[in-house]
Amino acid sequence: MSDRLDAQFAFLNEADHLKSILRASRLIDDTRFENSAEHSWHVMLYALVLADQAEGSVDINRVLKMLLLHDIVEIDAGDAPIHGDFDPKVKAAEEEQAAKRLFGLLPNDLQSEFIAIWREFEAGESAESRFAKAIDRVPTPVTNMEIGGGSWSDYNVTMDQIDQRVGVPIEHGAPGVWAWLRPKIQAWFRRN
Amino acid sequence: MSDRLDAQFAFLNEADHLKSILRASRLIDDTRFENSAEHSWHVMLYALVLADQAEGSVDINRVLKMLLLHDIVEIDAGDAPIHGDFDPKVKAAEEEQAAKRLFGLLPNDLQSEFIAIWREFEAGESAESRFAKAIDRVPTPVTNMEIGGGSWSDYNVTMDQIDQRVGVPIEHGAPGVWAWLRPKIQAWFRRN
């Protein structure tokens, strides 16, 4: 039992480093960039609050577990900003390696369980992973509108790019949220 | 439906401020103090990884929701370090006010649900809340041992105080974790 706890704590200590992975998004008071650990907390809260907006029938508990684990691979692979310049195939291979090393610190049963949850999220095929992926895209535009542009300004983003990179996944998993959010983003781009 | 989404997003935007509430605990690389949002993410991960250590039969999904919501009141009431100097009754009243204002931003159904989850956590009577409260106490000692003392040094903490303030709640909700952790903490105090 002690070996098992040793492995559980080795993983939990390593996971602490997600607090030092910075994203392209900012806090809503625009004081600093956001890290992937606090982002993970916030998207879980978004999912719980917006559960009634999920397309289809979803197990919200499965969604919360996906969002709890979804960014841990960034400890090794880093964050890839959606408006940034990266090769999705290279990034996917790096994340696969990261998942093996990081979840590999855990006892076998937990390792299998967590990798299955993470792969389900990545695949984006189940109703739960579609909703989780939709929710993951929502906070940054909401914050960017509050702080005068944020990552949209940094990356010179257009409304067309937002429709494609943000709108498509949100509409796929939470269409009512996109119907509410899109006119606000569109009005923001008209003004700026 | 639009009014409902307005209220949901008003709450989610306000919740962002939890990322700016600093705790007495530090990151495991000792670069800075930890904030309550990333702490909330980390304790949810602790709970999921250590679910097999819960005393009694617990619904882990309920535990995760408790830990997702447990610190949101700190946006108004601030963090009260366990080794710090505060009046528990005053703090409890401040947190009750904070819960009313913050969860009060939500539509009524979510407001009632979230306040019930938060009160259950605070009461610490159900098996789920005992486990959640135990888990909430685990990361700081683990990190303090890694970084040469951390908040123990800042607050001149003794082993007796740890037994009382940290050991009692952990043993109550996750006795096997305390049996694993206590000898390590004791050895650390003997060396330091």
Query: What DSSP element (H or E) covers A34?
Result: strand A33-35
Kindly state the average pLDDT of the residues A87-103.
Answer: 96
Beta bridge partners of A35: A22
Q: What is the mean pLDDT of chain A?
A: 97
| pLDDT over threshold 80, residue A127 | yes
Which of A11, A12, A64 lies at the smallest CB-CB distance from B64? A64
pLDDT digit string, tens, across residues A5-53: 999 999 999 999 999 999 999 999 999 999 999 999 999 999 999 999 9
Could you give the percent of chain A with pLDDT greater than 90? Answer: 97
- Reported ipTM: 0.98
The CATH number for B121's domain is 1.10.3210.10
Interface of A with B in 10-39 (CB under 8 A): 11-13, 15-20, 27-29, 31, 34-35, 37-38
B149, B39, B10, B66: CA torsion to nearest 10 = -130
Count: domains in chain B: 1
Find residues 122-141 of chain A whose CB sits inside 8 Å of chain B. 139
Contact B50 A8 (CB under 8 A): yes
Q: What is the per-residue pLDDT across B127-155, written as a single tens digit (0 to 9) for each?
A: 999 999 999 999 999 999 999 999 999 99
Task: Give CA–CA dist A60/A39, Å, rounded.
Answer: 18
A147 touches chain B (CB under 8 A): no
Q: What is the pLDDT of residues A108-126, one digit of tens each?
A: 999 999 999 999 999 999 9
Question: What is the reported pLDDT for A11?
Answer: 98
CA A182 vs. chain centroid, Å, equals: 19
| Residue A45 structural domain | 2-191
Pick from B19, B28, B50, B65 the residue to mutate for testing the A interface (most A CBs within 10 Å).
B19
pLDDT attached to residue B65: 98
